[in-house]
A and B are shown apart, each in its own frame.
Chain A
């Protein structure tokens, strides 16, 4: 267990290491305005066959995390930290191994199916391309498998579809094609970056169910990125909540919905009408905006919007605490704890938090 995250408990450790291990990942971008600190120390692991949901508002760093793993960042990015996949160090892969790595062992589904497919190439060519390149399949074999794959992702009359161009398909159908492309070489890890955000509500559930079914069938690991905690409910084994480039809370889905610790998660849960049922409502009702990633304060990044915030929160960045690998969170006054309840009560009494946020009669999971 040399690659285990520093906080992993030794007694309960699994015998073989997790498939994906991200340790202290940091990503910055050079921009005309200055250095954008998009990812600021992200740690997580993902077991073979499991699903991790990464949840957070727009701009919290979910896509950058995915793109870092996929090695898709632009040249303005600077990366630190390690990404372990199986027995590989993804940031230092030999040229020979890298040639047949992405698209074969790790694949990705993108947010917008309307722009994910090449408009001037037929569906069939886009599907068979990677099989022919990576697996050395003949055109006929690859085409046969492409038809099979299209059937698998629920596309009617697949044999005709491969002759069509993307613009001849609906958004939902295109996303199915994108999924088929990702599955072409039977990846062990599938990263789905908001795969349903751009789709009609009626189609969203179908695509998510399809992803779930395929994952179970193929025994893949999956990272499901979403801004909607409702999407993660019932589909993820584990949930990581991201805020300003950090994972602020990470635990099993059941634990998160039962007893969240981070005030941000708490607020997210509150923004879903009914926790027990998956929903597709957007997570916006949290007042305020995320911090400017160019001028990140040396404090809790959530403090200006946090109803629990105390003076301590403005002095340093809260470290990760909790039960390592089981329930981790980065907060000085966690919700659903006595400490948190006290902090909230004193803020409610004062009518304002230490960061100056005005609150009246806020009912929190902390006050039960």
Chain B
């Protein structure tokens, strides 16, 4: 408990420092923020109101204190361009991004956790069948040759080659299956999100018509339509995150599978599934948790590209539009909000370590 309070105090200090620094940098920008933001398009009264609100001309500490008090009391300010409050905008912009984040994490973990466990398990096993190295190349080469002769499309050809590789590695069994999973993860890791997003869009929205590019539907308008409106961008972000999770989990699992307590569990005659899921998985999730916490930053930066491409009006596109519109005081508020979520999420992860590993609790109580 003492530990939790200390960490909370630390988090508050970090938030004050981060928000102050961004606030201060924002005041260094040339020009009157009220005029810059509106590009001189609004009335003089609005500019005057804005100057009063923002205490333009006062020193930076006074202005920061004023902004901070408002922020804490829930007054997030307003846009002097269209008169809407930031709070109103957020009510509209946050849910799509929040859901996108949630679903993409579910997809990422849904792929990475079983994949990582499977790969780690297979890595330590002998091959089931002895298939010579040249044979898969010969088969895939044969498929390519036949396809070219028959004039099939490049796309079908790639699918066939992937299919053949999967079948061969699966037949080989053991470490070959780990290689297959790890190589796929590595491939995914090296594909930029943009490419994944564009390919996904082309395949599912255009070629197969399985996804409507009609923007975000809130859950209140039907759960099915809601999921339908977000599944593809969620899968795209999820797939791009999954290789990192998978490799972290696999590495930690392989390391923990070498531990003596695994031999003890085997000597007890426990089946592999029990050993993997009940003995090794939990202590192997610490790194994964840490990185998942850090990925909260993806809530905005990573999602921008996908949000723009998939026409989701979320936080990413909101932040970009405010930034391009030079409404820096709104940007400041958004940055503070994101930083708060980020710090709190990581605080939660930090406290969760103690739940996962009882030894962490002991170390912490020692101080």
Q: Which residues of A contact B (CB under 8 A)?
A: 70, 72, 74-75, 99-104, 107-108, 110, 112, 115-121, 129-130, 133-134, 165, 167, 178, 181-182, 184
Q: How far is the CB of A179 from chain B (nearest CB, A)?
A: 11
For window 160-214 of B, CB contacts with A under 8 Å fall at 174-175
B269 contacts which chain A residues (CB < 8 A)?
Answer: 99-104, 130, 133-134
* 8 Å CB contact of A167 from B126, B268, B270, B358: B358
When distances are taken between beta carbons in the complex, the residues of chain B under 8 Å from A72 are 263, 266-267
Q: With A103-B270, A120-B359, A133-B270 given, can you name 10 additional A-B contacts, CB distance below 8 Å?
A: A70-B266, A100-B269, A102-B267, A108-B264, A118-B283, A120-B357, A129-B270, A133-B271, A165-B358, A178-B264
Residues of B within 8 A of A107 (CB): 267-268
Provide the B115-126 mask, 1 if CB < 8 A to any CB of A, else 0.
000000000111
Q: Tell me the bound Cα distance from A102 to B270 in angstroms.
A: 9
A103 lies within 8 A of B279 (CB): no
Contact A119 B358 (CB under 8 A): yes
Q: Measured between C-beta atoms, what is the minimum distance from A328 to chain B in Å?
A: 29
Q: Are A115 and B259 in contact (CB under 8 A)?
A: yes
Residue of A nearest to B175 (CB): A75
Tell me whether A75 and B261 are in contact (CB under 8 A): no
Q: Are B358 and A129 closer than 8 Å at their CB atoms?
A: no
- Minimal beta-carbon separation of B177 from chain A (angstroms): 13
Q: Which residue of B lies closest to A191 (CB)?
A: B267
Indicate if the CB atoms of A181 and B356 lie closer than 8 Å. no
| Interface 1/0 per residue, B349-367 and A, CB below 8 Å | 0000000111100100000
Return chain A residues, CB-CB under 8 Å to B126: 75
Contact call B279/A121, Cβ cutoff below 8 A: yes
Contact partners of A133 in chain B: CB under 8 A: 269-271, 274
Are A118 and B265 neighbours in the complex by a CB distance under 8 Å?
Answer: yes
B124 touches A75 (CB 8 A): yes
Q: Are A103 and B261 in contact (CB under 8 A)?
A: no
What residue in chain B is nearest A104 (Cβ atoms)? B269
When the two chains form their complex, are residues B268 and A119 in contact, meaning their CB atoms are under 8 A apart?
no
Please, what's the 1-or-0 string for B85-103, where 1 marks a CB less than 8 Å from any CB in chain A?
0000000000000000000
State whether the Cβ of B84 lies closer than 8 Å to any Cβ in chain A: no
Interface residues on B, range: 20 to 34
Task: Find chain B residues with CB under 8 A from A119 CB.
Answer: 261, 283, 357-359
B263-297 interface (Cβ within 8 A of A) = 263-271, 274, 278-279, 282-283
CB distance from B266 to the nearest CB of A (A): 6
CA distance A81 to B260 in the complex (A): 26
CB contacts (< 8 Å) of B270 on chain A: these are: 103, 129-130, 133
Q: Which residues in B have their C-beta under 8 angstroms from that of A134?
A: 269
B3 to chain A, nearest CB (A): 17
Q: How far is the CA of A21 from the CA of B260 in the complex (A)?
A: 27
Are B268 and A103 in touch, CB under 8 angstroms? yes
* Alpha-carbon distance between A104 and B270 when the two chains are bound, in angstroms: 11
Nearest A residue to B362 by beta-carbon distance?
A167
- Measured in the bound complex, the distance between the Cα atoms of B267 and A101 in whole Å is 10
Q: B268–A102 contact, CB under 8 A?
A: yes
Which residues from chain B contact A130 at a C-beta distance below 8 Å?
268-270
- Which residues of A sit under 8 angstroms from B260, Cβ to Cβ? 110, 112, 115-116
Q: Could you write out 6 A-B pairs with CB less than 8 Å apart? A: A72-B263, A75-B175, A110-B263, A116-B261, A116-B264, A130-B269
Q: Distance in Å from the Cβ of A64 to the closest Cβ of chain B? A: 13
Residue in chain A with minimal CB distance to B260: A115
Chain B neighbourhood of A100, CB < 8 A: 269
Q: Which residues of A contact B357 (CB under 8 A)?
A: 119-120
Is B279 within 8 A of A118, CB to CB? yes
B172 to chain A, nearest CB (A): 13
* Cα distance A108–B124 in the bound complex, in angstroms: 22
| B267:A120 contact, CB within 8 angstroms | no
User: Could you say which residues of chain A place their CB within 8 Å of the CB of B274?
Assistant: 129, 133
Complex: A173 Cα to B175 Cα, angstroms: 38
Chain B positions within 8 Å of A129 at CB level: 265, 268, 270, 274, 278
What is the distance, in angstroms, from A167's C-beta to the closest C-beta of chain B?
A: 5
Minimum CB–CB distance for B336 against chain A, Å: 37
A181 and B359 within 8 A (CB): no
Residues in B neighbouring A75, C-beta threshold 8 A: 124-126, 174-175
Q: In the complex, A134 Cα to B267 Cα: how many Å?
A: 12
CB distance from A4 to the nearest CB of B (A): 28
